[in-house]
Amino acid sequence: METVKLVEVGPRDGLQNEKQAVGTNDKLALIRKLAEAGLNTIEAGAFVSPKWVPQMADSLAVLKALPLSGPVNYPVLVPNDKGMEQALEAGVREIAVFGAASESFSQKNINASIAESLARFDSVMATARRHNVRVRGYVSCVVACPYEGRIAPAKVAEVAARLLDMGCYEISLGDTIGVGTPNTVLDMLEAVSKFVPMNQLAGHFHDTYGMAISNIHASFGAGLRTFDSSVAGLGGCPYARGASGNVATEDVVYLMQGLGVATGVDLSRLVAATWFVAGLLGREPDSRVARALGRPEV
Ligand code: HMG
Ligand code: MG
């Protein structure tokens, strides 16, 4: 049976964008429910500046409370050496560095040009290598940038290739503002896959225009087999104006079930996690599938 790998980013990409703070114990309860649903890669936090993203300020406490040597992988975002120090203190096995294909977004998001960010990542990755920490790389704005508009696929390919050369084992391609459609996504994927093998790429689709599932289906057809998604369709980047949530994990699981593709995820347990986080945030989930299946009886 064909399989896809899902990278659950709700506890990070999702909760980083919520005005209402979610307490550490509630985050941990959510992460446990996601793991119980069968998700085995769960991005659990970000060692970024608490002045920039206060929602992630408790990431050290979250990571310290998780079973980091168990079967579930809990990667965490790291922008610089200071973040890497915290990653080592927490004992994480995997981090993610996050760059962009747009100069303006790079400045707004991490206060660095693309070249400066890559130099920072070089230093982070040297430390990661010494400590056997795996590194994933993100490229944001792979279709368009909220400040610059369309981004050339060749620019995305250039940044992705640099991250691969530095030693990232996988490059996640972020349609940060969710404007891509299958044609723009496939053009970008074709350009990038000339430099990075398809089996080392992932799709990270925000759903601002409701195109994320179409983009996943099209990318799957082109050979992509790793997708980032977020429980309840939470998400967005505080430094990308107008960006809405990620594609909902439950919608991706439903699509894959329909295609006869294994995800390892139990949909009814996942939907229970969806309604749990929706309850924490005091609203209905954004995902079609969670609403269609309804709130589980307790
Ligand atoms: P900066 O202000 O240029 O940093 O921020 P600095 O090195 O000049 O230091 C300033 C202060 O921040 C100092 O403290 C440092 O110690 C502290 P002070 O002396 O003023 O008290 N500091 C830190 N504190 C905690 N952790 C750290 C850290 N580094 C410095 N790691 C920085 C630069 C990168 C830190 C900042 O811009 C930042 O934290 N940015 C993160 C923004 C972010 O998290 N955005 C969302 C994630 S990216 C995303 O969502 C896109 C993605 O989902 C893919 C997609 O959708 O496309 C991944
Ligand atoms: Mg994102």
pLDDT in tens, 136-195: 999 999 999 999 999 999 999 999 999 999 999 999 999 999 999 999 999 999 999 999
Q: Residues with beta carbon inside 6 Å of ligand 1?
A: 13, 16, 46-49, 52-53, 77, 79-80, 82-83, 98, 109-111, 138, 140, 174, 176, 204, 206, 237, 239
104 in a structural domain = yes
Is 119 exposed, middle or buried, given 0-12, 13-18 or 19+ CB atoms closer than 10 A?
exposed
211 in a structural domain = yes
172 in a structural domain = yes
Instruction: Tell me the angle at which helices 249-259 and 267-281 cross, rounded to the nearest 10 degrees.
Output: 160
Which residues of the chain register pLDDT less than 50? none
Give 238 Cα–ligand 2 centroid separation in angstroms.
Answer: 10
* Structural domain boundaries enclosing 282: 5-293
pLDDT (0 to 100) of residue 237 = 87
Query: Which residues, in sequence order, are CB contacts of 126 under 8 Å at separation 6+?
Result: none
Amino acid in the structure at residue 275 = W
pLDDT (0 to 100) of residue 63 = 98
| Nearest-atom index, ligand 1, CA of 98 | 58
10 in a structural domain = yes
Q: For all residues of the chain together, what is the average pLDDT?
A: 97
Q: Are 143 and 150 in contact (CB under 8 A)?
A: yes
298 in a structural domain = no
Give 48 Cα–ligand 1 centroid separation in angstroms.
Answer: 4
Domain count, the chain: 1
Tokens of 214: 């179409």
Q: Are 286 and 248 in contact (CB under 8 A)?
A: yes
pLDDT (0 to 100) of residue 225 = 98
- Candidates 8, 12, 48, 135: which one to mutate for ligand 1, based on the most atoms within 8 Å of Cβ? 48
Read off the CATH number of the domain in which 264 is found.
3.20.20.70
User: DSSP of 140-204, one letter per residue?
Assistant: E-SSEETTTEE--HHHHHHHHHHHHHHT-SEEEEEETT----HHHHHHHHHHHTTTS-GGGEEEE
Is 107 exposed, middle or buried, given 0-12, 13-18 or 19+ CB atoms closer than 10 A?
middle
232 in a structural domain = yes
CA distances (Å), origin 100, targets 25, 104, 114, 121: 32, 9, 7, 12
| Nearest-atom index, ligand 1, CA of 236 | 50
Give 65 Cα–ligand 2 centroid separation in angstroms.
Answer: 24
94 in a structural domain = yes
Is the pTM higher than 0.75? yes
Tokens 């004992």 belong to which residue?
A: 91
Give 297 Cα–ligand 2 centroid separation in angstroms.
Answer: 31
Q: Burial letters for 165-185: b for 16+ Cβ neighbours within 10 Å, e otherwise?
A: ebebebbbbbbbbbbbebebb
Q: Are 120 and 95 in contact (CB under 8 A)?
A: no
